[in-house]
Amino acid sequence: MGIRRFRTRQILVVTFFLFLILLVGFPGTVQAVKPMEPPLCVPQAFQKLGASVVGLRFYASQSDKIIPMQARTYNTTFSNDTPYIWWELCLNNKAKRNSLVPLYTWVVWQRPDGSEFTQSIAANIPAGLQRVCLSAYGQDKRPGGWPPGAYRVSIQIDDIEVASGSFDVIQKFLGEN
Protein backbone atom coordinates (compact mmCIF):
# COMPACT_ATOMS: atom_id res chain seq x y z
CA MET A 1 0.00 0.00 0.00
CA GLY A 2 2.85 2.39 0.82
CA ILE A 3 4.70 1.69 -2.44
CA ARG A 4 1.59 2.36 -4.50
CA ARG A 5 1.05 5.70 -2.76
CA PHE A 6 4.74 6.59 -3.27
CA ARG A 7 4.58 5.79 -7.04
CA THR A 8 1.36 7.73 -7.49
CA ARG A 9 2.98 10.70 -5.78
CA GLN A 10 6.07 10.40 -8.02
CA ILE A 11 3.94 10.26 -11.15
CA LEU A 12 1.99 13.34 -10.06
CA VAL A 13 5.19 15.31 -9.33
CA VAL A 14 6.78 14.35 -12.66
CA THR A 15 3.54 15.18 -14.51
CA PHE A 16 3.35 18.56 -12.75
CA PHE A 17 6.94 19.47 -13.73
CA LEU A 18 6.38 18.36 -17.33
CA PHE A 19 3.26 20.50 -17.42
CA LEU A 20 5.21 23.52 -16.11
CA ILE A 21 7.97 22.98 -18.68
CA LEU A 22 5.44 22.83 -21.51
CA LEU A 23 3.59 25.84 -20.15
CA VAL A 24 6.65 28.05 -19.56
CA GLY A 25 9.05 26.59 -22.12
CA PHE A 26 12.42 24.98 -21.76
CA PRO A 27 14.92 27.04 -19.81
CA GLY A 28 17.78 28.58 -21.76
CA THR A 29 16.03 28.50 -25.14
CA VAL A 30 14.21 31.81 -24.94
CA GLN A 31 17.06 33.73 -26.58
CA ALA A 32 17.44 31.23 -29.41
CA VAL A 33 13.83 31.40 -30.59
CA LYS A 34 13.29 33.95 -33.35
CA PRO A 35 9.93 35.70 -33.08
CA MET A 36 7.56 35.21 -35.99
CA GLU A 37 7.11 38.10 -38.36
CA PRO A 38 3.61 39.53 -38.46
CA PRO A 39 1.52 38.25 -41.36
CA LEU A 40 1.06 40.38 -44.44
CA CYS A 41 -1.98 42.48 -43.62
CA VAL A 42 -2.03 44.69 -46.68
CA PRO A 43 -2.82 43.26 -50.12
CA GLN A 44 -0.08 43.68 -52.73
CA ALA A 45 -2.46 45.69 -54.93
CA PHE A 46 -3.03 48.09 -52.02
CA GLN A 47 0.74 48.48 -51.62
CA LYS A 48 1.08 49.38 -55.31
CA LEU A 49 -1.82 51.83 -55.09
CA GLY A 50 -0.97 53.22 -51.68
CA ALA A 51 -4.63 52.46 -51.05
CA SER A 52 -6.78 52.47 -47.98
CA VAL A 53 -10.46 51.62 -47.64
CA VAL A 54 -12.74 54.63 -47.24
CA GLY A 55 -15.92 52.64 -46.79
CA LEU A 56 -18.29 49.91 -47.86
CA ARG A 57 -21.92 50.86 -48.53
CA PHE A 58 -25.01 49.20 -49.97
CA TYR A 59 -27.75 50.40 -52.30
CA ALA A 60 -30.54 48.82 -54.34
CA SER A 61 -31.75 49.10 -57.90
CA GLN A 62 -34.38 47.61 -60.13
CA SER A 63 -31.84 46.93 -62.90
CA ASP A 64 -28.50 45.19 -63.32
CA LYS A 65 -27.15 48.39 -64.90
CA ILE A 66 -24.92 50.55 -62.73
CA ILE A 67 -26.52 53.82 -61.69
CA PRO A 68 -24.65 57.12 -61.21
CA MET A 69 -23.34 57.81 -57.71
CA GLN A 70 -25.55 60.89 -57.40
CA ALA A 71 -28.67 58.76 -57.94
CA ARG A 72 -27.78 56.10 -55.35
CA THR A 73 -29.60 55.89 -52.05
CA TYR A 74 -27.45 54.04 -49.54
CA ASN A 75 -29.16 51.89 -46.98
CA THR A 76 -28.72 48.89 -44.70
CA THR A 77 -32.32 47.64 -44.92
CA PHE A 78 -33.95 46.40 -48.11
CA SER A 79 -37.25 44.79 -49.07
CA ASN A 80 -37.22 41.13 -50.07
CA ASP A 81 -38.66 42.06 -53.48
CA THR A 82 -35.57 44.17 -54.31
CA PRO A 83 -34.10 42.56 -57.42
CA TYR A 84 -30.52 43.86 -57.09
CA ILE A 85 -28.57 44.83 -53.99
CA TRP A 86 -25.24 46.48 -54.78
CA TRP A 87 -22.11 46.95 -52.71
CA GLU A 88 -19.81 49.90 -53.20
CA LEU A 89 -16.21 49.86 -51.95
CA CYS A 90 -14.36 53.18 -52.07
CA LEU A 91 -10.58 53.46 -51.84
CA ASN A 92 -8.19 56.37 -51.46
CA ASN A 93 -5.05 55.97 -53.57
CA LYS A 94 -1.89 57.81 -52.66
CA ALA A 95 0.89 56.18 -54.68
CA LYS A 96 2.25 58.00 -57.71
CA ARG A 97 2.15 55.62 -60.64
CA ASN A 98 2.02 55.78 -64.40
CA SER A 99 0.47 52.43 -65.22
CA LEU A 100 -2.65 50.40 -64.57
CA VAL A 101 -2.81 48.37 -61.37
CA PRO A 102 -4.88 45.18 -61.60
CA LEU A 103 -7.22 44.61 -58.70
CA TYR A 104 -8.80 41.18 -58.25
CA THR A 105 -11.65 41.16 -55.79
CA TRP A 106 -13.34 38.14 -54.24
CA VAL A 107 -16.72 38.82 -52.63
CA VAL A 108 -18.54 36.44 -50.30
CA TRP A 109 -22.22 37.05 -49.62
CA GLN A 110 -23.49 35.18 -46.57
CA ARG A 111 -27.23 34.57 -46.34
CA PRO A 112 -29.19 34.48 -43.06
CA ASP A 113 -29.14 30.66 -43.09
CA GLY A 114 -25.32 30.65 -43.28
CA SER A 115 -25.13 29.56 -46.92
CA GLU A 116 -22.97 31.64 -49.22
CA PHE A 117 -22.71 32.78 -52.78
CA THR A 118 -19.62 34.37 -54.22
CA GLN A 119 -18.49 36.61 -57.02
CA SER A 120 -15.14 37.65 -58.37
CA ILE A 121 -14.41 40.96 -60.01
CA ALA A 122 -11.35 42.07 -61.92
CA ALA A 123 -10.65 45.77 -62.36
CA ASN A 124 -7.76 47.85 -63.64
CA ILE A 125 -7.16 51.00 -61.64
CA PRO A 126 -5.89 53.71 -63.99
CA ALA A 127 -2.98 55.97 -63.12
CA GLY A 128 -3.83 59.35 -61.66
CA LEU A 129 -7.07 58.46 -59.85
CA GLN A 130 -6.96 59.47 -56.21
CA ARG A 131 -10.31 57.93 -55.25
CA VAL A 132 -11.76 54.78 -56.75
CA CYS A 133 -15.15 53.27 -56.02
CA LEU A 134 -15.82 49.71 -57.10
CA SER A 135 -19.39 48.52 -57.28
CA ALA A 136 -21.14 45.29 -58.17
CA TYR A 137 -24.52 43.79 -57.49
CA GLY A 138 -25.71 40.64 -55.85
CA GLN A 139 -28.83 38.85 -56.90
CA ASP A 140 -30.18 35.94 -54.95
CA LYS A 141 -31.29 33.70 -57.80
CA ARG A 142 -33.07 31.21 -55.61
CA PRO A 143 -36.87 31.08 -55.86
CA GLY A 144 -38.39 33.90 -53.84
CA GLY A 145 -35.36 36.15 -54.17
CA TRP A 146 -33.83 37.56 -51.01
CA PRO A 147 -35.05 35.65 -47.95
CA PRO A 148 -35.63 38.01 -45.00
CA GLY A 149 -32.83 38.21 -42.45
CA ALA A 150 -29.32 39.55 -41.91
CA TYR A 151 -26.76 39.30 -44.72
CA ARG A 152 -22.99 39.77 -44.47
CA VAL A 153 -20.71 40.77 -47.33
CA SER A 154 -16.95 40.19 -47.08
CA ILE A 155 -14.59 41.70 -49.67
CA GLN A 156 -11.16 40.15 -50.10
CA ILE A 157 -8.20 41.22 -52.17
CA ASP A 158 -5.14 38.94 -52.38
CA ASP A 159 -6.87 36.58 -49.91
CA ILE A 160 -7.01 39.34 -47.29
CA GLU A 161 -10.33 40.73 -46.09
CA VAL A 162 -10.24 44.47 -46.69
CA ALA A 163 -13.86 45.30 -45.84
CA SER A 164 -17.03 43.71 -44.59
CA GLY A 165 -20.49 44.95 -43.91
CA SER A 166 -24.00 43.77 -43.32
CA PHE A 167 -27.53 44.64 -44.30
CA ASP A 168 -31.00 43.36 -43.50
CA VAL A 169 -33.71 42.17 -45.82
CA ILE A 170 -37.25 42.53 -44.53
CA GLN A 171 -40.49 40.97 -45.72
CA LYS A 172 -42.61 43.32 -47.78
CA PHE A 173 -46.28 43.02 -46.92
CA LEU A 174 -49.09 43.24 -49.48
CA GLY A 175 -50.21 46.79 -50.14
CA GLU A 176 -46.93 48.25 -48.88
CA ASN A 177 -45.05 50.65 -51.16
Residue 4, SS3 per DSSP: helix
Closest residue by Cα to residue 147 from 89, 100, 98, 80: 80
C-alpha span between 140 and 147 (Å, rounded): 9
> What CA–CA distance (Å, rounded) separates 90 from 130?
11
Q: Are 109 and 116 in contact (CB under 8 A)?
A: yes
Domains and CATH numbers, the chain: 44-170 (2.60.40.3880)
- The yes-or-no verdict on residue 57 having pLDDT over 80 is yes
pLDDT digits (tens, 9 = 90+) for 20-49: 444 444 444 444 444 444 445 778 888 878
| pLDDT value at residue 25 | 45
Q: What would the mean pLDDT of 129-155 be, rounded to a whole number?
A: 87
Position 3 confidence tier, pLDDT thresholds 50, 70, 90: low
Spatial distance between the Cα atoms of 105 and 122, rounded to a whole number of angstroms: 6
Global confidence as pTM? 0.71
DSSP three-state, residue 126:
coil
